[in-house]
C-alpha cells in the first residue's frame, strides 16, 4: 500500500513536478520490527533539503503517523519517502501556491547475501562521472540519472557496487552507498561539497568513529589512494556497513576498525544477524 498525501493510492498526478523535473527529495529508510530506524535523522536531512530547495516541508507528526500506519506490522521492510514540489503547469517557476506532494511507499526488505557483511563485497569503478554541482551536493534529490547510468554499466551479479568519481578523478561514492577507507589508522571519507549524497549512515559512522577516538579526514580521495588503502568499506541505511574485499583486482583485508564499526552499528541497528 502506498500513501500519497495521506490517501491510499497507486498513482500520482501526471502534472507532478517530481515527474517533470525531478523537483523533489527522497529518503530510503530501514524498517526493523515495525520501527523506522533513524527516523529523526532522516527527517532532519529531509527538512534541510527542503530548505535548500525552497520546498514546503510537511508536518513531521503527520509524516510519522502515516509512516507508522504503513510499517507498524513489518518485521523487515524498506520505507521510501518522496517529497516533490507537487502539481504545476508547464515551466520551471514554482507554482503559486506550492503544495508539496508526500509519498510513502513500503518495499520488501532486499535479500542481500549474508556474506556481504561477513566476507565483504566486490566493487568496481564506474565510467560515469558525478558532475560538480555544489547547489545540489549532499542532497538526496530526485535527479538521479547519473546513478542510473552508472549502475547499468555492469551486469555481473558478483559485483555489489560501483564507485563513481567526479570529473577530476576523485572517488566520491558508490551508486547507492557512501565510501570510507582506512589508511594508517586514519578514517577517510570523500568530501561531498561538490557532489554526492550525504548519507545518514555515513553521518552515523563518523560519529561512532569519533567516539572511538579514530582520527577522521574528510577530503579528496584519488583512485590510487583508494587502491593503496588498508581497509575499505561502504555504508547506507539499508546495508549498514559492508566491507570491500576486492576492487578492480586489488584485494583488501577486513581489519579491526571496520569490524568494530560494523559491530557498533549493529547494536542500534541489527542488520546483520552474524
Pick 53 or 227: Cβ nearer its own copies:
53
Q: Smallest distance from the beta carbon of 195 to its own copies, in angstroms?
A: 8
The DSSP code for 170 is B
The CA distance from 117 to 99, in Å, is: 42
Instruction: Kindly state the smallest distance separating residue 10's Cβ from its own copies, in Å.
Output: 6
173 included as an active-site residue: yes
Helix/strand/coil for 77 = strand
3-class state of residue 253 by DSSP: coil
Measured from the CB atom, the residue of 16 and 231 that comes closer to its own copies is 16
Distance in angstroms (rounded) separating the CA atoms of residues 7 and 246: 45
Q: Are 239 and 109 in contact (CB under 8 A)?
A: no
Shortest approach of its own copies to residue 61 CB, angstroms? 23
Cβ-based nearer residue to its own copies, 144 or 259:
144
**Active-site residue flag, 28:** yes
CA distance 11 to 271: 32
Burial of 169-187, coded b for 16+ CB within 10 Å and e otherwise, reads ebbbbbbbbbbbbbbeeeb
48 is catalytic: no
Tell me the pairing of strands 121-125 and 159-165.
Answer: parallel
Residues that bind its own copies (CB under 8 A): 2, 4, 9-23, 26, 28, 53-54, 78, 80, 82, 84-85, 89-94, 103, 105, 107, 110, 128-129, 131-133, 135-136, 141-152, 167, 175-176, 195
Q: What are the distances in angstroms from CA 243 to CA 95, 108, 234?
A: 45, 23, 6
Residue 28, classified by CB atoms within 10 Å of its CB into exposed (0-12), middle (13-18) or buried (19+), is middle
Which CB sits closer to its own copies, 61 or 93?
93
**Catalytic, out of 128, 173, 189, 231:** 173
97 close to 134: Cβ distance less than 8 angstroms: no
Helix (H, G, I), strand (E, B) or coil at 113: coil
Q: How far is the CB of 177 from its own copies (least distance, A)?
A: 12
Backbone torsion region of residue 97, taken as left when φ is above 0, otherwise alpha when ψ lies between -120 and 50, otherwise beta: beta
What's the closest the beta carbon of residue 274 comes to its own copies, in angstroms? 24
Name the active-site residue from 140, 161, 189, 258: 140
Measured from the CB atom, the residue of 94 and 269 that comes closer to its own copies is 94
Min CB(22)–its own copies separation in Å: 3
Contact 121, 157 (CB under 8 A): no
- Residues annotated as catalytic (active site), given as ranges: 28, 140, 173
Amino acid at each position: 500500500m502506498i500513501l500519497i498525501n495521506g490517501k491510499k493510492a497507486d498513482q500520482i498526478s501526471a502534472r507532478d513536478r517530481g515527474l517533470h523535473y525531478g523537483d523533489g527529495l527522497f529518503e530510503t529508510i530501514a524498517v526493523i520490527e515495525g520501527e523506522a530506524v533513524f527516523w529523526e535523522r532522516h527527517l532532519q536531512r529531509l527538512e534541510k533539503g527542503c530548505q535548500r530547495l525552497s520546498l514546503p516541508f510537511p508536518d513531521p507528526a503527520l509524516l510519522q503517523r502515516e509512516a507508522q500506519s504503513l510499517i507498524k506490522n513489518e518485521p523487515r521492510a524498506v520505507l521510501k519517502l518522496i517529497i516533490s514540489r507537487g502539481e504545476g503547469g508547464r515551466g520551471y517557476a514554482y507554482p503559486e501556491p506550492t503544495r508539496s506532494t508526500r509519498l510513502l511507499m513500503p518495499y520488501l526488505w532486499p535479500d542481500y547475501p549474508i556474506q556481504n557483511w561477513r566476507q565483504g563485497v566486490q566493487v568496481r569503478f564506474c565510467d560515469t562521472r558525478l558532475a560538480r554541482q555544489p547547489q545540489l551536493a549532499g542532497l538526496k534529490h530526485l535527479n538521479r540519472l547519473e546513478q542510473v547510468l552508472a549502475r547499468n554499466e555492469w551486469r555481473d551479479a558478483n559485483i555489489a557496487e560501483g564507485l563513481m568519481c567526479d570529473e577530476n578523478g576523485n572517488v566520491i561514492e558508490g551508486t547507492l552507498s557512501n565510501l570510507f577507507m582506512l589508511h594508517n589508522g586514519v578514517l577517510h571519507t570523500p568530501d561531498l561539497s561538490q557532489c554526492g549524497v550525504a548519507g545518514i549512515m555515513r553521518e552515523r559512522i563518523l560519529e561512532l568513529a569519533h567516539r572511538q577516538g579514530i582520527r577522521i579526514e574528510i577530503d579528496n580521495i584519488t583512485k590510487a589512494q583508494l587502491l593503496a588503502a588498508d581497509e575499505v568499506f561502504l555504508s547506507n541505511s539499508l546495508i549498514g556497513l559492508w566491507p570491500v574485499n576486492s576492487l578492480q583486482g586489488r584485494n583488501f583485508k577486513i581489519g579491526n576498525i571496520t569490524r568494530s564499526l560494523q559491530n557498533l552499528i549493529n547494536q542500534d541497528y541489527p542488520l546483520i544477524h552474524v
